[in-house]
């Protein structure tokens, strides 16, 4: 007698994607409404809000290109998001950390796609620095991707330490 196959799929985690996209879009809208372009609002000596428009990718990669990058990054983010939804649908039920990570990465990708489609650029506004050394400005979508990637690394680190875990 065979045991029932383990249920698969973690699409339920798409709620996190929707919440993160909503937070991203709300925060960008608030910045667009209340802070002029390149305006700065200091919160802490190492943290400020500054409204910037990024037509490139991470760290303004290809920001100076002729405009093709808007469509390239949009198509790339959509393709990656589709692949991640498929991965999410195939996850085992117990893979909640990976599911949360994937949901956050999808949210970040799509949050920035929304900006690219609406404006032709991504609204960045979180600025951290130490004295005169500035980290590139980012937004909630970028943070979602970063947190999602960190959760994937955390899962990979801990799943390799479980007794009897297989090396992949």
115 has catalytic annotation: no
Of the candidates 24, 64, 124, 155, the residue annotated as catalytic is 124
Side by side, the strands of the sheet bearing 122-130 are: 40-44, 47-54, 122-130, 133-134
Q: What percent of the chain shows pLDDT beyond 70?
A: 82
The ranges assigned to domains in the chain are: 11-159
- 26: region left, alpha or beta (phi > 0 left; psi from -120 to 50 alpha): alpha
Measuring CA to CA, which residue among 98, 101, 162, 112 is closest to residue 142? 112
124 has catalytic annotation: yes
pLDDT, one tens digit per residue, over 14-72 is 999 999 999 999 999 999 999 999 999 999 999 999 999 987 666 555 555 556 667 88
pTM: predicted TM-score of the whole model, two decimal places:
0.85
Of the candidates 24, 64, 142, 155, the residue annotated as catalytic is 142
């Amino acid at each position: 007698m065979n045991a029932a196959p383990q249920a698969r799929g973690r699409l339920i985690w798409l709620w996190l994607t929707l919440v993160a996209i909503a937070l991203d879009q709300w925060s960008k809208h608030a910045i667009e409404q209340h802070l002029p372009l390149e305006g700065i609002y200091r919160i802490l000596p190492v943290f400020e809000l500054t409204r910037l428009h990024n037509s490139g990718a991470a760290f303004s990669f290809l920001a100076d290109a002729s405009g093709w990058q808007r469509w390239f990054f949009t198509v790339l983010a959509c393709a990656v998001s589709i692949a991640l939804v498929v991965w999410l649908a195939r996850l085992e039920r117990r893979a909640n950390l990976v599911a949360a990570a994937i949901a956050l990465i999808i949210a970040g990708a799509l949050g920035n796609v929304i900006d690219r489609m609406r404006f032709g650029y991504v609204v960045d506004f979180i600025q951290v620095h130490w004295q005169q050394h500035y980290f590139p400005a980012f937004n909630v979508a970028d943070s979602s991707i970063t947190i999602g990637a960190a959760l994937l690394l955390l899962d990979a680190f801990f799943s390799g330490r479980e007794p009897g875990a297989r090396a992949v």
